Amino acid sequence: QKEVEQDPGPLSVPEGAIVSLNCTYSNSAFQYFMWYRQYSRKGPELLMYTYSSGNKEDGRFTAQVDKSSKYISLFIRDSQPSDSATYLCAMSLSGGSNYKLTFGKGTLLTVNP
């Protein structure tokens, strides 16, 4: 079993739709959870960053973490064609030298106008 599982998609939605992306993980020691957006042939861009369980909202984006289920989600409201990209979940252990990120494979999202 991989440490982080993410459905690679592809996921295709019409403009304005609500998009739900998610990852599951096996290591209960993960404390920090992130979502990155990566456009083709570009480096990942940090979208959301959460610590431990709970919700976090930023504009059209909402990140949820459920540590009891080892499940994290990213919701995109009112999706736009510019949201078309690969979305990567990432997580890391807490503190000290354990800052290395473990990534999911990424979900390719296409928002159609």
Partner 1 sequence: GAVVSQHPSRVICKSGTSVKIECRSLDFQATTMFWYRQFPKQSLMLMATSNEGSKATYEQGVEKDKFLINHASLTLSTLTVTSAHPEDSSFYICSARAAYTDTQYFGPGTRLTVL
Q: Which residues bind partner 1 (CB under 8 A)?
A: 6, 8, 32, 34, 36, 41-46, 49, 51, 88, 92, 99-101, 103-106
**Residue 81 phi, psi (nearest 5):** -55, -30
Long-range CB pairs of 53-57, under 8 A, 24+ apart, other chains included: none
For partner 1, the closer of residues 14 and 82 by Cβ is 82
Number of residues in the chain: 113
For partner 1, the closer of residues 17 and 105 by Cβ is 105
**Residue 107 phi, psi (nearest 5):** -115, 125
For partner 1, the closer of residues 35 and 83 by Cβ is 35
CB of 8 to partner 1, least distance (A): 8
